Structure 1
Amino acid sequence: MSSVRFGVNYTPTHGWFHHWLDFDLDEVHADLDSIGRLGLDHIRVFPVWPVFQPNRALIRPRAVEQLVRLVDTAAEHGLDVNVDGLQGHLSSFDFVPSWTTTWHRRNLFTDPAVAEGQAEYLRTLAEALADRPNFLGMTVGNEVNQFSAAPHPDPDPVTHEQAADWLRRMLDACERGAPGRCHLHASYDAAWYHDGHPFTPAHSARLGAMTAVHSWVFNGTAQRHGATGAATEQHAAYLVELSKAWADRPDRPVWLQEVGAPAPHIPPERAAAFTEATVANALDCPAVWGVTWWCSHDVDRALADFPELEYGLGLLTNDREVKPAGRAIARIVREQRGREHQPTPRRTALVLDVDDAYGAPDRSGCAPGGEYFEAWMRLAAQGLRPAVVLAERAADAGHLADRGITEVVTVSQTLKGAGR
Structure 2
Amino acid sequence: MAFLPDPSAAPRFGVNWTPRRRWFHAWQHLDVAEAEEDFAAIAALGLDHVRIFPLWHLLQPNRTVIDERSVADVVAVVRAAARQGLDVCVDVLQGHLSSYEFLPSWILTWHRRNIFTDPDVVAAERDLVRALARALRDEPNAVGLTLGNELNQFADRSHPDPMPATPEEISAWCADLLGAARAAWPEGHHVQCSDDKSWYLDEHPFEPSLITTVGDSTTIHSWAFGWVAAALDSDVRAMSHFAEYLVALATFWSDDPNRPIWLQEVGAPRPFVPEEQASTFAVETVRNAIRRPQVRAVTWWCSHDVSPDLADYPSLEYSLGLIDSAGRVKAEGRAIADLIAQVGEAGRPEAPPPQHDLVLPGRRPADRGATAPGQQIFTRWFEAARAGAPPRLVTAVTP
Q: What are the Cα deviations for residues 56-105 of structure 1, in whole angstroms up to 9, with x where unaligned?
A: 11111000101001111111111111111111100000111111111111
Aligned counterpart in structure 2 of residue 368 of structure 1, from 373, 385, 388: 373
Aligned partners of 2:336, 2:382: CA distance in 1, in Å?
25
Aligned partners of 2:175, 2:345: CA distance in 1, in Å?
35
CA contact (8 A) 2:382 2:390 kept: no
Secondary structure of 2:336 counterpart: helix
Q: What are the Cα deviations for residues 254-301 of structure 1, in whole angstroms up to 9, with x where unaligned?
A: 111101110110011110010011011101112111111100000011
RMSD (Å), alpha carbons: 1.6
Aligned partners of 2:352, 2:293: CA distance in 1, in Å?
7
* Structure 2 counterpart of 1:411: none
Aligned partners of 1:39, 1:381: CA distance in 2, in Å?
30
CA contact (8 A) 2:352 2:389 kept: no
Aligned partners of 1:64, 1:377: CA distance in 2, in Å?
45
Aligned counterpart in structure 2 of residue 353 of structure 1, from 341, 352, 361: 361
Judged with a 3 Å threshold, the aligned counterparts in structure 2 of structure 1 residues 391 and 119 are, in CA distance, closer, same or farther, namely: farther
Secondary structure of 1:350 counterpart: strand
Secondary structure of 1:206 counterpart: coil
- Percent of aligned pairs sharing the same letter: 46
* Structure 1 counterpart of 2:318: 311
* Structure 1 counterpart of 2:133: 126
Q: Deviation of residue 50 (structure 1)?
A: 0.6
Is 2:395 aligned against 1:390?
Answer: yes
CA contact (8 A) 2:213 2:254 kept: yes
Report 1:167-182 matches (<5 A).
167-182=174-189
Q: Deviation of residue 113 (structure 1)?
A: 0.4
Aligned partners of 1:258, 1:71: CA distance in 2, in Å?
20
Aligned length: 391
* Structure 2 counterpart of 1:34: 41
* Structure 2 counterpart of 1:108: 115
* Structure 2 counterpart of 1:77: 84
Q: Deviation of residue 250 (structure 1)?
A: 1.7
Aligned partners of 2:11, 2:141: CA distance in 1, in Å?
17
CA contact (8 A) 1:230 1:377 kept: no
Secondary structure of 1:301 counterpart: coil
State which drifts further: 217-226 or 304-313. 217-226
State which drifts further: 15-24 or 343-352. 343-352
Is 2:20 aligned against 1:13?
Answer: yes
**Runs of 5+ in structure 1 lacking a partner?**
395-420
Judged with a 3 Å threshold, the aligned counterparts in structure 2 of structure 1 residues 19 and 391 are, in CA distance, closer, same or farther, namely: farther
Aligned counterpart in structure 1 of residue 211 of structure 2, from 183, 204, 213: 204
Aligned partners of 1:223, 1:381: CA distance in 2, in Å?
16
Report 1:46-195 matches (<5 A).
46-195=53-202
**Runs of 5+ in structure 2 lacking a partner?**
1-7
TM-score normalised over the length of structure 2:
0.95
Aligned partners of 1:267, 1:345: CA distance in 2, in Å?
28
CA contact (8 A) 2:237 2:281 kept: no
Report 1:298-337 matches (<5 A).
298-337=305-344
Q: Deviation of residue 364 (structure 1)?
A: 2.1
Judged with a 3 Å threshold, the aligned counterparts in structure 2 of structure 1 residues 105 and 2 are, in CA distance, closer, same or farther, namely: same
Q: Deviation of residue 223 (structure 1)?
A: 2.5
Judged with a 3 Å threshold, the aligned counterparts in structure 2 of structure 1 residues 315 and 152 are, in CA distance, closer, same or farther, namely: same
TM-score normalised over the length of structure 1:
0.90
Structure 1 residue identity aligned to 2:41: S
Secondary structure of 1:12 counterpart: coil
Q: Deviation of residue 391 (structure 1)?
A: 3.6
CA contact (8 A) 2:352 2:388 kept: no
* Structure 2 counterpart of 1:44: 51
Aligned partners of 1:243, 1:148: CA distance in 2, in Å?
20
Aligned partners of 1:346, 1:388: CA distance in 2, in Å?
13
Aligned partners of 2:320, 2:184: CA distance in 1, in Å?
33
Aligned partners of 1:59, 1:117: CA distance in 2, in Å?
9
Q: Deviation of residue 167 (structure 1)?
A: 0.7
